[in-house]
Amino acid sequence: MESGTFEKLTVLGESAKYDVSCSSSGHARVNVGRIGSAACAGICHTWTSDGRCLSLLKVLLSNDCVYDCKYCVNRRTADGARRTFEPKELAELTIEFYRRNYIEGLFLSSAVLVSPDHTAERMYECLWLLREVHGFAGYIHAKIVPGVSPELLTQIGLVADRLSVNIEMPTSQSLSLLAPQKKPEAIFAPMTQITRTQMEQRTLKAAGNMQRLRPAGYEGIDMGGTGLYVGEGAGGEAGALTSTPRKTGGHIVSESRRKTWNEKFAPAGQTTQMLIGASPESDRQILHMSEALYRRFTMKRVYFSAYIPVVDAPELPSLLSPPPLRREHRLYQADWLLRFYGFSADEILTETEPNLDYDLDPKVIWALRHIDAFPIEVNTASEAELLRIPGIGNVSARRILRQRRVQKVRYEDLKKMGVVMKRARYFLTCGGRYHGGKEQEAEKLRTVFMLESRAAEDAAALMNPGTLNAADIRRALGGGEKPQISLFEASL
């Protein structure tokens, strides 16, 4: 044990504290919203004093950055303590924590130390030592620095379970404004490589997925009109969004925890993260971007991270503006619609209404906008139609279909099947009867839902005082003084 290890661990742990993309079980999110609650099935090893579950050692390899991203407290021009782990030191620390059953695995990310390749080399050295020398079989999530060379990425992918490259911004304009050293190509190249390697791996192993492959040549596609440009076609899985919803996230251990680690490249897939609210993009642009990311890169998840103002710069929201936590929450709901409900970004947000309504669930908003399509008869609707009804989810839709095969669904049955009736009843008929009363106009319904959602939020605030809000986070950062923590992902 080195003598400085304690300080490094606390400084570099703090730096990684607010990172949201600890996707192994969605537990490390600052804003404990509704999303991800089902995913918290992994093994929690301890609970912090504020009641959050810890299961991975989440830490930066270094916070000594040569880049100068405006929104980050580790940027070159900021002052503050700089620390860097020796690869060997961190590998030992991880295995010793793992042996003592303190943690389930490692979430390693880093600032750009000297250069992307230099950083990646040290990361790889650390992970390699962990797997090869210490025989570590736990979970590893490695965050990749943009601009890393393909060879190093391949090596890291072979020792990590999950990889992520942050997309950072919804458009290339914002990226060049706020993170000038990060080039879109440097972000998309590793994403593309990860996707492609995984597809090759799958084609080699699995039968019957040939038709899902697309030519991986140069396509030069503008990412969903968002202004971010993919230089190279990623060869995404066709219809990854709209066809079969796939289960993602969840249990760390079940995520193909490898016994023989060197046979697979990032078996738990890749994720990415986007900063919300630091740049002026609309929600529509953000959703288009994330839709494109799911399509082209077969992302497991796109994480949103509400920007918490910690840096005073003319390009950024003022230090007084609250972090857009509610917006982040609604974006996650919209993301859910993309992934599991067969919605497209264009359906959720239109050109005339490019932003989500932060007061209401995007699915309710969609239904109110298309009120003429309702009510839907539950006894004849297709699965896709059922899924459009607010209050009906994947599970309840399947239950309805199953029962229909045997006998008609009665109104009383719906509740038992898990349908949220206080919402759904306005949008469906059962056996031809409508149970929603007289409030069939969109405007009136809107009022009904607003009241309901406010009441629910108040109740949730009472139930869950542990949910963070903006003020807490700023206070946690040490008031208006020199912030010590990188909020937006100190690293990449």
Partner 1 sequence: MNYIYDNTYEGFLTCAYHHWYTEKAEGIFPDELYQLDLCRYAMSVETDAAKAERVLDAVNARISTWDAERIYKVFCSNEPEKEMKMLRYIALGFRHGPKIRLMHGDPVVKAAEAAEQRVGREVHRLCGLVRFSEARDGISGNTLLYAKVELDNDVLEFIAPHFSDRYKSEPFVIHDVSRGKGLFAYGGEWEVMPLEAALPIEASEDEHGYRLLWKGYFDAMGIRERANPKTQRGFMPARYWKHLPEVSGL
List contacts with ligand SF4 (CB under 6 A).
65, 67, 69, 72, 74-75, 111-112, 179, 490-492
Helix ranges restricted to H, 298-409: 325-340, 345-348, 362-369, 383-387, 394-406
Bridge partners (DSSP) listed for residue 84: 62
Min dist. Cβ of residue 34 to ligand SF4 (A): 28
Q: Is 93 in the site for partner 1 (CB under 8 A)?
A: yes
Nearer to partner 1 by C-beta: 414 or 468?
Answer: 468
For residue 134, what is the DSSP state? Answer: T
User: Binder to partner 1 among 345, 476, 490, 492 (CB under 8 A)?
Assistant: 476
Cα(484)–Cα(74) distance, rounded to whole angstroms? 9
**19 touches 28 (CB < 8 A):** yes
User: Binder to partner 1 among 77, 100, 208, 405 (CB under 8 A)?
Assistant: 100
Q: Is 325 in the site for partner 1 (CB under 8 A)?
A: no
3 state DSSP class of 306: strand
Query: H or E stretch including 178?
Result: helix 172-178
**110 touches 141 (CB < 8 A):** no
Task: Name which of ligand SF4, partner 1, none residue 75 binds, using a CB cut-off of 5 to 8 Å depending on partner kind.
Answer: ligand SF4
Cα(386)–Cα(120) distance, rounded to whole angstroms? 47
User: Binder to partner 1 among 34, 37, 38, 48 (CB under 8 A)?
Assistant: 48
Q: Is 86 in the site for partner 1 (CB under 8 A)?
A: no
Q: Is 130 in the site for partner 1 (CB under 8 A)?
A: no
Show the site string, 242-261: x = touches partner 1 by CB under 8 A, - = not. Answer: --------------------
Min dist. Cβ of residue 5 to partner 1 (A): 6
Nearer to ligand SF4 by C-beta: 56 or 311?
Answer: 311
Task: Name which of ligand SF4, partner 1, none residue 438 binds, using a CB cut-off of 5 to 8 Å depending on partner kind.
Answer: none
Go through 115-142 and write b for each residue having 16 or more CB atoms within 10 A of its CB, e for each that does not.
Answer: ebebbbbbbbbbbbbbbeeeebebbbbb
| Window of 143-151, 196-204, 367-375, 469-477 that interacts with partner 1 by CB under 8 A | 469-477
Cα(407)–Cα(424) distance, rounded to whole angstroms? 21
Helix ranges restricted to H, 392-486: 394-406, 411-416, 421-424, 442-463, 470-476
User: Binder to partner 1 among 22, 57, 61, 191 (CB under 8 A)?
Assistant: 57
Q: Is 135 in the site for partner 1 (CB under 8 A)?
A: yes
User: Binder to partner 1 among 34, 81, 82, 99 (CB under 8 A)?
Assistant: 99
User: Binder to partner 1 among 370, 466, 480, 482 (CB under 8 A)?
Assistant: 466
How big is the site for partner 1, counted in residues (CB under 8 A)? Answer: 40
Min dist. Cβ of residue 120 to partner 1 (A): 24
Min dist. Cβ of residue 472 to partner 1 (A): 5
Nearer to ligand SF4 by C-beta: 306 or 334?
Answer: 306
**20 touches 29 (CB < 8 A):** yes
3 state DSSP class of 434: strand
Task: Name which of ligand SF4, partner 1, none residue 363 binds, using a CB cut-off of 5 to 8 Å depending on partner kind.
Answer: none
Burial bucket for residue 464 (CB in 10 Å: 0-12, 13-18, 19+): exposed
The DSSP secondary structure of 50-102, one letter per residue, reads TS-EE-EEEEESB---S---TT-TTSTTS-S---B--HHHHHHHHHHHHHTTS
Q: Is 281 in the site for partner 1 (CB under 8 A)?
A: no
3 state DSSP class of 199: helix
Residue 223 vs residues 249, 284, 338: alpha-carbon distances, Å? 25, 13, 16
Q: Is 186 in the site for partner 1 (CB under 8 A)?
A: no
Task: Name which of ligand SF4, partner 1, none residue 470 binds, using a CB cut-off of 5 to 8 Å depending on partner kind.
Answer: none
Q: Is 101 in the site for partner 1 (CB under 8 A)?
A: yes
Cα(489)–Cα(65) distance, rounded to whole angstroms? 13
Q: Is 102 in the site for partner 1 (CB under 8 A)?
A: yes
Cα(385)–Cα(343) distance, rounded to whole angstroms? 11
Task: Name which of ligand SF4, partner 1, none residue 222 binds, using a CB cut-off of 5 to 8 Å depending on partner kind.
Answer: none
For partner 1, the binding residues (CB under 8 A) are 1, 5-6, 9-10, 13-14, 17, 43-55, 57-58, 93, 96-97, 99-102, 104, 135, 137, 465-466, 468, 472-473, 475-476
